[in-house]
Amino acid sequence: MVFEKLCTLLSGQFGVTPDAITMDTALQDDLNADSLDLVELMMTIEETFDVGQISEDAAANIHTVGDIVRLIGEE
């Protein structure tokens, strides 16, 4: 459920099809996310998944879609 919802969110923000996203999809290398994209993504995740504020330390360790799924699961 979290992964599917996240794929939909990412596909809208980065213009890729949800089917092209896997747990190993790298945000910067595969989706070409820049630092502004990542900040916007963190804010969207906070709102969409109601996980509260994501710390800078946690955000710095997010590199793949799987990292986000694990973070959401921990919150």
Structure tokens at 37: 């994209």
Report which residue type is found at 24: D
β partners of residue 26: 64
Hey, which residues are catalytic here? Answer: 34
- What is the rounded CA–CA span in Å between residue 2 and residue 12? 16
